[in-house]
Amino acid sequence: MKNFLFEVKEGLIISLKAIRANKARSVLTTLGIIIGVASVVLMSTAIKGINQSFQKGVASLGSDNLYIDKWAWFNNDIPWWEMRNRKDITMEDYKKYKELAKLPLAIAPRVNAFRTIKYEDKSVQSIAMTGTDHNYINTTNLTFSEGRFFTEFESKGGRAVVVLGSEIAKKLFPFGGAIGEFVKIGGYKFKVVGVLKEQGSWVMGSWNPDNQAYFPFQNVFKYFRSRHRGSVTIEVRAPNSQMVEAVKEEAISIMRRIRGLKYNEKDDFAINQQEGLLSNINKTVGVIQIAGLLITGLALFVGAIGIMNIMFVSVKERTKEIGIRKAIGAKRRTILGQFISEAAIICLIGGLIGLGVAIIGSMIIAQFDFPVTVDADAVILAVSISLITGVLSGFAPAYTASKLDPVDALRYE
Amino acid sequence: MNIINIEHIAKIYQVGTEEVHALADVSIRIDKNEYVAIMGPSGSGKSTLMNILGCLDTPTKGLYDFKGQNVSQMNDNELASIRNREIGFVFQTFNLLARSDALHNVELPLIYAGVPTAERRERAQAALENVGLADRMRHKPNELSGGQRQRVAVARALVTNPAIILADEPTGNLDTKTGEDIMALFQEINSSGNTIILVTHEEYIAEHAERIIRLRDGLIEKDEVVKERLVPNGNKHF
Ligand SMILES: Nc1ncnc2c1ncn2[C@@H]1O[C@H](COP(=O)(O)OP(=O)(O)OP(=O)(O)O)[C@@H](O)[C@H]1O
Ligand SMILES: [Mg+2]
């Protein structure tokens, strides 16, 4: 083992010297490894970031939830025009469903409007305003940094109160103190009663609770749009994950009754679940993966060829040295190991540079609201990929070196 | 006791359609602690013989018995191991690792033998002191004179305490004075019990040995005992 380490050290010193002597060639050969490792690390980091964000989203919105909606979120079997032609789900439908449903833990309506929120000279645009009732908070796991959700009393009265997501609060009230203040939404005054803690699910975009504001649904109809236009989403929470299917069955049969469907008619509503969101995210992840693997594969392939080439040259240049080593007792596998470790070390250096590039890259990406961090796994990934590439690309030259005839090698000038 | 016993060794190279008999039919026995010089005109097969004796090469025909082991039947790894433990090479062109210092060059055979670091260091230092290079351990080959380089090579050959030292024209690249110094070193090594086989073109170098084997066209022309051995630095012995 010690000998091996010594040989590796020796190999490292020799290969570092060779690298220094041929800077341009070395940079070009490790460039492939650098790009390959950087892209694989960035890719895995991005995917991990997306997944984590999604998990957070599921955690804050609740994993045992169903969303009864006119639109199926991610169903490609039903053509969009068919969904468009469906009757809207109305507040009356919601009330009937609420009366009839026995299994859910909590039920709340949701109607949305996109509006600008202003406070003094600050404003945030195109905020998904969620109009709902006081039960909404029980369908989620949202947590508060300040204040509270609106009460049953405020909800029933359709009061002009609002709960702000953390990002909105941060922008409008950078120094805190939002509670009790009045913000203007679409020109109307609302009193802030609560500010949410950061939920951190950026992957959900404008549906990220951090970027939403919540107020009693009556406000939507009062200020922003007619009660008779637009569909209501009914948010339903099952008591536990085992009950989700039963709640879904029940919801389908109740909704069919409410909507007056005959037995041979298709459902004219959708029961959406977060799994749908997951499969959609998996598609995105899949695209990133394919693109990343393609770049990585290509770059590593080019890099490996380059390393193989430089190693063949190195073996040729050092034929005499190989002869000397063999003459004084180096076995074939010793020579094999020496050259393979050299290739591996060159690749490792490239890989570490690639890792550095990826870390810088992730910092840059993080500036664009895509908080990704390179973690220990990524380091392990980078190191192992570059080592494997090194071993694979070093094998053929090392094998050639190990097979050299000592007499011929010694005679080489 | 025979340390080396070769019988009817031949080494035949195929060059195009022609067969080159570098060694035609050579049989030699060498005893432990013998000091043998091999002479002969250029192309007579001296180096070829040394390579076979040193287990760097295998004969096309014949039998090579080294310390009771049949070397002709060994594979690459076994040969490498014999070279490492039993044979010390000294070459005309020194053949040191150019990028490594003297100490590391001398340590290298011990590294391949798997000797632990501390012991290795100690033995390499002792070997270098032995050849008078205590103050040159950290010098790289290009920072040493020819004679000093050859002494590093001798230290490297001795450090594993091998059964035989094989030297192919060790003084070929050195001036007379420096060559003498190396011969003195060999004398010392031989007196402390080592077996030495030396190839040379110079009669006076060969006369430092106890026995001279003369080759011609891959055959032994003469195998004689040196009557008046030379002692390095001019003094006649016996
Ligand atoms: N690899 C080889 N292929 C073909 N012929 C070879 C090879 N190696 C040696 N020979 C031939 O074998 C013969 C003996 O060569 P060798 O090197 O043993 O001579 P030598 O006695 O050491 O000569 P010198 O004194 O010049 O070093 C020469 O004729 C040489 O051309
Ligand atoms: Mg020769």
Query: Do the beta carbons of residue B11 and residue B50 sit within 8 Å?
Result: no
Residue A350 in any domain: the answer is yes
Residue window 12-41, chain A: list those with CB within 8 Å of chain B.
13-14, 17
Q: Is the pLDDT reported for residue B235 higher than 60?
A: no
Buried-state track B92-110, b at ≥16 Cβ within 10 A, e below 16: bbbbbbebbbbbbbbbbbb
Determine what percent of chain B is predicted with pLDDT higher than 70.
Answer: 97
- The per-residue pLDDT for A326 is 95
Residue after which a domain boundary falls, among A268, A299, A314 = A268
Does B16 sit in the ligand 1 pocket, CB within 6 Å?
A: no
Choose, out of B77, B83, B110, the residue to mutate when testing the contact with A (most A CBs < 10 Å).
Answer: B83
Res A8: pLDDT = 64
The DSSP bridge partners found for residue B167 are: B90, B198
Q: Which helix (H) or strand (E) holds A340?
A: helix A332-366
pLDDT value, residue A17: 67
Percent of chain A at pLDDT exceeding 90: 36
Q: What is the pLDDT of residues A91-112, one digit of tens each?
A: 899 999 999 999 999 999 999 8
Contact B83 A410 (CB under 8 A): no
Mention every residue, 6+ apart, whose C-beta is less than 8 A from residue B15.
none
Residue A99's pLDDT is 92
First to last CA, chain B: 24
Average pLDDT over chain A reads: 86
Q: Say whether both A256 and A313 belong to one domain.
A: no
Contact status, residue A166 vs residue A146, Cβ threshold 8 Å:
no
Is the same domain home to A109 and A133?
yes
Contacts 24+ apart (CB under 8 A), B58-62: B59/B6, B59/B9, B59/B10, B59/B11, B59/B23, B60/B10, B60/B11, B60/B12, B61/B8, B61/B9, B61/B10, B61/B12, B62/B6, B62/B7, B62/B8, B62/B9, B62/B10, B62/B25, B62/B26, B62/B27
More confident residue, A367 or A409: A409
Identify the residue with better confidence: A381 or A216: A216
Is residue A344 a part of any domain in this protein? yes
- For A329, the closest of B57, B100, B112 (CB atoms) is B112
Indicate which residue's Cα is closest to atom 24 of ligand 1. Answer: B42
Helix axes B76-86, A319-327, angle to 10 degrees: 70
In a shared domain, residues A251 and A226:
yes
User: Domain ends where: A249, A268, A287?
Assistant: A268
**Nearest one of A209, A172, A202, A123 to A369, comparing CA atoms:** A202
Q: Report the C-alpha gap between B122 and B46 in whole angstroms.
A: 35
Phi, psi dihedrals of residue B100, rounded to the nearest 5°: -105, 150
Q: What is the pLDDT of residue A154?
A: 92
Compare CB distances from B97 to A321, A326, A406 and report the shortest one's residue: A321
Which one has a higher pLDDT value, B233 or B74? Answer: B74
Q: Are residues A133 and A238 in the same domain?
A: yes
State residue A11's pLDDT score.
61
Confidence of residue A32 (pLDDT cuts 50, 70, 90): confident
d(CA A248, CA A236): 9
pLDDT at B63 over 90: yes
Diameter over CA atoms, chain B? 54
- Looking at the CA of residue B15, tell me the nearest atom of ligand 1: 4
Q: How far is ligand 2, taken at its centre, from the CA of residue A373, in Å?
A: 64
Rg of chain B, C-alpha, whole Å: 18
Torsional sign, CA B69, B75, B76, B78: negative
Q: What is the pLDDT of residue A221?
A: 86
Q: Which ligand is nearest to the CA of A407?
A: 1
Q: How far apart are CA A405 and CA B11, in angstroms?
A: 15
Question: Looking at residue B120, what is its pLDDT?
Answer: 93
Q: Tokens for A147?
A: 């204040």
Which pair of structure tokens corresponds to residue A383? Answer: 């190191």
Instruction: Please name the CATH architecture into which domain B2-225 falls.
Output: 3-Layer(aba) Sandwich (3.40)
Q: How far apart are the first and last CA of chain A?
A: 33
pLDDT at A1 over 60: no
With contact defined as beta carbons under 8 Å apart, do A276 and A204 qualify? Answer: no
Ligand 1 neighbour B200 (Cβ under 6 A): no
| Over residues A206-218, mean pLDDT | 87
Residue A281 neighbours by CB distance under 10 Å = 20
pLDDT given at position B237: 40
Cross-chain CB nearest to A328 (options B57, B76, B83) = B83
pLDDT > 70? residue B168: yes
Residues A303, A362 within the same domain: yes
List pLDDT tens digits, range A144-183.
999 999 999 999 998 999 999 998 999 999 988 889 999 9
Portion 305-324 of A in contact with B at CB < 8 A = 320-321, 323-324
Write down the pTM of the prediction. 0.75
How many residues appear in chain A? 413
More confident residue, A410 or A381: A410
* Ligand 1 atom, smallest distance to B218 CA: 14
| pLDDT surpasses 80 at A212 | yes
For residue B83, list chain A residues with Cβ-Cβ distance below 8 A. Answer: 326-329
In angstroms, the CA A101 to CA B215 distance is 110
Instruction: Decide if pLDDT at A132 tops 60.
Output: yes
Give the residue whose CA is nearest to atom 18 of ligand 1.
B45
How much is the pLDDT for A19?
A: 64
Q: Answer whether B218 contacts ligand 1 (Cβ < 6 A).
A: no
A60-71 pLDDT, tens digit each: 777 788 999 888
Are B225 and B211 in contact by the 8 Å Cβ rule? The answer is yes
Does the structure show a pLDDT above 70 at B110? yes
Average pLDDT over residues A222-243: 85
**Domain limits, chain B:** 2-225
Shared-domain flag, residues A348 and A385:
yes
* CA distances from residue B42 to A153, B10, B36, B49, B163 in whole angstroms, order as listed: 114, 18, 18, 13, 28
What is the separation of C-alpha A328 from the centre of its chain, rounded to a whole number of angstroms? 56
By C-alpha distance, the chain B residue nearest A321 is B97
Q: Which amino acid is at B71?
A: V
Are A357 and A407 found together in one domain?
A: yes
Contact B187, B231 (CB under 8 A): yes
Q: Would you state the pLDDT for residue B238?
A: 37
The alpha carbon of residue B75 is apart from the nearest alpha carbon of chain A, in Å, by 11
Where among A268, A287, A319 does a domain terminate?
A268
- Cβ distance A329 to B109 less than 8 Å, yes or no, reads yes
Q: Which region holds residue A200: left if phi is over 0, alpha if psi is between -120 and 50, else beta?
A: left
The total number of structural domains in chain A stands at 2
Per-residue confidence (pLDDT) for residue B236, from 0 to 100 = 42
Pairing of strands A212-216, A122-132: parallel
Question: Beta strand pairing status for B35-39 and B195-199?
Answer: parallel
| A260 and A330 share one domain | no
Beta-carbon separation of A331 and B112 below 8 A? yes
For residues B155 and B79, is the Cβ–Cβ distance under 8 A?
no
Is the pLDDT at B72 greater than 70? The verdict is yes
CA distance A331 to chain B (A): 6
Query: What is the rounded distance in angstroms from the CA atom of residue A264 to the CA atom of residue A270?
Result: 17
Residue B107 pLDDT level (bands cut at 50, 70, 90)? very high
Contact B108 A328 (CB under 8 A): yes
Specify the pLDDT at position A373. Answer: 75
Strand ranges (E), chain B? 2-15, 18-31, 35-39, 61-66, 69-70, 87-91, 164-168, 195-199, 211-216, 219-225
Does ipTM surpass 0.90 in this model? yes
Q: A11 or A201: which carries more pLDDT confidence?
A: A201
Rounded to 5°, the CA angle B44-B47-B49 comes to 85
Whether residue A327 and residue B56 make contact (CB cut-off 8 A), yes or no, is: yes
Q: Are residue A263 and residue A369 in the same domain, yes or no?
A: no
Residue A13's pLDDT is 66
Res. A7: pLDDT tops 70: no
Asked if residue A81 belongs to a domain, the reply is no
- The answer to whether position A66 is within a domain reads no
With residue A399 as reference, give the H or E element that holds it.
helix A376-403
Residue A80, domain member (yes or no): no
* Range in A336-350, B94-108, B120-134, B159-173 the model is least confident about: A336-350
A403 → chain B, closest CA residue: B76
B20 pocket-lining for ligand 1 (C-beta < 6 Å): yes
Residue A312 placed within a domain: yes
The 3-state DSSP class for residue B192 equals coil
- Number of Cβ within a 10 Å radius of residue A311: 27
Domain membership of residue A53 as a residue range: 2-57+279-411
pLDDT score for A112? 87
Q: For residue A208, is pLDDT > 50?
A: yes
Chain B residues with CB inside 8 Å of A332's CB?
76-77, 80
Residue B43 Cα, ligand 1 centroid: separation in angstroms?
A: 5
Give the mean pLDDT of B207-218: 95
Number of the ligand 1 atom closest to the C-alpha atom of B45: 18
User: Average pLDDT of chain B?
Assistant: 92
Which of B57, B77, B97 lies at the smallest CB-CB distance from A332? B77
Examine the pLDDT at A255 and tell me if it is beyond 70: yes
Beta carbons of B207 and B226 less than 8 angstroms apart: yes
Contact A327 B54 (CB under 8 A): yes
- Do A302 and A385 fall into the same domain? yes
Q: Kindly state whether residues A33 and A149 are assigned to the same domain.
A: no
Mean pLDDT value across residues A200-211: 77
A5 in B contact zone (CB under 8 Å): no
Length of chain B: 238
Q: Which residue has the higher pLDDT, A44 or A277?
A: A44
Give me the sign of the Cα torsion angle A152, A153, A159, A161.
negative
Q: Are A341 and A385 contained in the same domain?
A: yes
Question: Which residues make up the environment of ion ligand 2, defined by Cβ < 5 Å?
Answer: B 47
Instruction: Give yes or no for a contact between A111 and A128, defined as CB atoms under 8 angstroms apart.
Output: no
